[in-house]
Structure 1
Amino acid sequence: MKLKLKYLGFVLAIPFLFIYSCKTQKGKFEFVNPKSGSKVLKGEKLQLKLNFNDVAIDSVVYSVDGDIFDRKTDTTAVAFDTDKHGYGNKRLSAKIYAQGKEDIAYSDLLVVPPAPKAYAFEVVNTYPHDSTAFTQGLYYDNGTLYESTGKEDRTSLRKVDLKTGKVIQKIDGDGTFFGEGMTVVGDKIYFLTWLNKKGFIYDKTSFKLIKSFDYGKSAEGWGLTYDGKQFIKSDGSANIYFLDPVTLQETGSVQVFDDNGPVDRINEMEYVDGKLFANIYDQSKDEVVIIDPTTGVIEGRVNFVGLYDGVRKSADNEMNGIAYKSDTKTFLVTGKDWTKLFEVRLQIR
């Protein structure tokens, strides 16, 4: 069920720029530069030009997403600095006053960062992994793995011996929720559910439930990590959300971008040295992206296709689960129902 719903969300998320561009007004005046639907690198300085059709104008007011940034009383080009307005879809508008009337022209831009760096990986170790563990969250702590698993009938929170793959401690869900991402902070484990809009806090040692919490306005819970000051949550969209460390309520969000625009299906995450390492939920490829959480920019990509040579029992055996071993500066990665867990070292190509 999860697979179908997640992909339905993806289908509905038809590139926003295309839909938005269809609304571009075609009137007496129109943008010559930039053409609506253009993609530009952040930092580019554009010269905005309009076709005024030889109409004598009184003034022009230029705005981006409704915020005025320039006014002119002639038809000369206007400078637009993309560096001042962030990433994503931007609607430029020019309100023209002429002959006692007003008209408006639009142009829609997609402002993107440079292409991410490509990372290679080296397999350092291979460990056994429970083939019935539908992995959703992974966290490493001094030789022990904490793992959360999903599907209503297989949801669990478990403590696992890294080297043997044996489950040391485990609690199962009650069948009413689908387990998702998890992280450990201090002596507590924070565990999300998928569609119930709830999370749970457990004692790290006893696995005793301390309390539940509502995880905010977003409809779904996917991945969860902690940056030392706040929690960061994903919901399968192109957004990541910041949660208050005490109340776990949303305090803000940022959209994730690469050089082609918004990137959705952000799944399990691990915060390492100021960056987010995140699985992308995808049947066709095993991929981790490296995100700057302050800007949402994807700075790197790791293609793990070919890492796992085990038999995938169904289409729902995507790579998921990433943890960091700070003592060796390596990552632990696995997937849903995979029979193996891999320790890898990343290298820029």
Structure 2
Amino acid sequence: MKKVNLLSLFILNLIFFSCGSNSGNKTSDFSLNFTASKTEYQLGETVEVAIKNLKNRQIDSVRFFLNENNLGTGTSGNMLKFQLKDEKLGNQVIKAMVFSEGEKDTLQLPVKIYNSTPPTVYTYKIVNTYPHDRTAYTQGLEFYRDTLYESTGQYGRSSLRKTNFETGEVLSKIDLADKYFGEGLSVLNDKIYQLTWNEGEGLIYDISTLAKEGSFKFNQSKEGWGLCNDGTRFYKSDGTEKIWILNGTTLAEETYIQPTTHRSISTQLNELEWVEGKIYANTYQKDGVAIINPENGAIEGLINFQGLRDQVTQHADLDVLNGIAYNPNTKKLYVTGKNWDKLFEVEIIKK
């Protein structure tokens, strides 16, 4: 009986959403199209779209939007031409509101927007090497007032740690409940915020005692990967093409950027770090770190850390690069990985 009820409910929902997919519950008499034979553009290029009147109806006016930004009413012939300047990159939507004979039709047209220049490529030099707990499945790493805080993962082994980065000593540590898989970590206003992976929940701690004070929900995103902040807002990755921008007080996911190069949109961005106005993000299971513009998502640089993993003790549980920490007081950058026995201070060098 339960299977029959579920099937009936699914059919009803399918009928409802099919009928309600267009404003006015009917097929539109208009379509929105690119005048050029392409759907992908770079910043600096000009985009031209036009309304096609399928049934020769009287069009009173048209308003065009790129996402929620008003582009104006277009020109004669119900066309719009505009140049891409500082728009957000990635998968975006051009929208047109057509007013005709007392009715309004809303049309949408997906567009991919890429950066205009390729990322600058960097390599690295090891400046100093410090000990690191090789049993730590590093997920989040961040300095706060010269102290290094670390989040580790794995069910039944996840933890939050306060460490002495120079000696590798764990100064204090709390273990997460077995139901949690620890992920990214960030500190703001004397509170530690730690993501969990599949539990749809973030955890909040007191910076002094590491005592848990509360939690927050993820809202629109389904997973927790990396976390950093700019002093006001949080930035959160979830394994998709989106880096969510969270309210620094309520933790609500208010908007997002999509990390994008001159020809592709990136996914699988993991640990995040705020470095002098940019987001540094490592790609899961890769040796690269992307340098991202937080305003529009442009990947402006790529750091190749190939070979760094070879510098740590090789053992059966050794895993990938994951862990970026920048000390704003000393202007020094540190990286490590999952179950690595070393933490590296590195200098980034343009190739």
Q: TM-score range by the shorter chain?
A: 0.7 to 0.9
Q: Find 2:250's aligned residue among 247, 251, 258.
A: 247
Alpha-carbon distance in structure 1 between the residues aligned to 2:249 and 2:293: 23
Residues 135/296 of structure 1: CA separation in 2 closer, same or farther (3 Å cut): same
The equivalences for 1:322-341 within 5 A come to 322-341=324-343
Cα offset, 1:277, TM superposition = 1.1
Equivalent residue for 1:300?
Answer: 301
Q: How many residues align?
A: 310
The equivalences for 1:1-349 within 5 A come to 34-37=36-39, 39-46=40-47, 70-73=74-77, 79-83=81-85, 86-89=88-91, 109-113=111-115, 114-281=117-284, 283=285, 285-309=286-310, 310=312, 311=314, 313=316, 317-349=319-351
- The answer (yes or no) to whether the contact 2:146–2:329 under 8 Å persists in 1 is no
Q: What SS is found at the alignment partner of 2:309?
A: coil
Tell me which amino acid in the other structure corresponds to 1:334. T
Report percent identity of matched pairs. 40
Q: CA RMSD of the aligned region, Å?
A: 3.6
Cα offset, 1:307, TM superposition = 1.2
Alpha-carbon distance in structure 1 between the residues aligned to 2:136 and 2:327: 21
Alpha-carbon distance in structure 1 between the residues aligned to 2:134 and 2:36: 53
Tell me which amino acid in the other structure corresponds to 1:133. A
Tell me which amino acid in the other structure corresponds to 1:333. V
Q: What SS is found at the alignment partner of 1:245?
A: coil
Residues 63/138 of structure 1: CA separation in 2 closer, same or farther (3 Å cut): same
Residues 44/145 of structure 1: CA separation in 2 closer, same or farther (3 Å cut): same
- The answer (yes or no) to whether the contact 2:87–2:296 under 8 Å persists in 1 is no
Cα offset, 1:200, TM superposition = 1.4
Alpha-carbon distance in structure 2 between the residues aligned to 1:32 and 1:225: 38
Cα offset, 1:87, TM superposition = 2.6
Residues 80/124 of structure 1: CA separation in 2 closer, same or farther (3 Å cut): same
Once structures 1 and 2 are overlaid, which stretch shifts more, 135-144 or 295-304? 135-144
Q: What SS is found at the alignment partner of 2:205?
A: strand
Residues 174/86 of structure 1: CA separation in 2 closer, same or farther (3 Å cut): closer
Residues 226/84 of structure 1: CA separation in 2 closer, same or farther (3 Å cut): closer
Q: What SS is found at the alignment partner of 2:163?
A: strand
Alpha-carbon distance in structure 2 between the residues aligned to 1:194 and 1:30: 40
Cα offset, 1:201, TM superposition = 1.4
Alpha-carbon distance in structure 1 between the residues aligned to 2:198 and 2:184: 12
Equivalent residue for 1:24?
Answer: none
Tell me which amino acid in the other structure corresponds to 2:74. D
Cα offset, 1:215, TM superposition = 3.0
Residues 292/246 of structure 1: CA separation in 2 closer, same or farther (3 Å cut): same
Tell me which amino acid in the other structure corresponds to 2:293. D
- The answer (yes or no) to whether the contact 1:161–1:168 under 8 Å persists in 2 is yes
Alpha-carbon distance in structure 2 between the residues aligned to 1:91 and 1:144: 43
CA-to-aligned-CA distance 1:77-107 (integer Å, 9 cap, x gap):
9744233754334567999xxxxxxxxxx98
Q: What SS is found at the alignment partner of 1:257?
A: coil
Q: What SS is found at the alignment partner of 1:83?
A: coil
Gaps of 5+ in 2: 1-30, 98-107
Q: What SS is found at the alignment partner of 1:183?
A: strand
CA-to-aligned-CA distance 1:174-210 (integer Å, 9 cap, x gap):
2111001111224321111111111111122221111
Residues 40/154 of structure 1: CA separation in 2 closer, same or farther (3 Å cut): same
Cα offset, 1:70, TM superposition = 2.9
CA-to-aligned-CA distance 1:252-273 (integer Å, 9 cap, x gap):
2222211123211121111122
Alpha-carbon distance in structure 2 between the residues aligned to 1:79 and 1:187: 49
Residues 265/72 of structure 1: CA separation in 2 closer, same or farther (3 Å cut): same
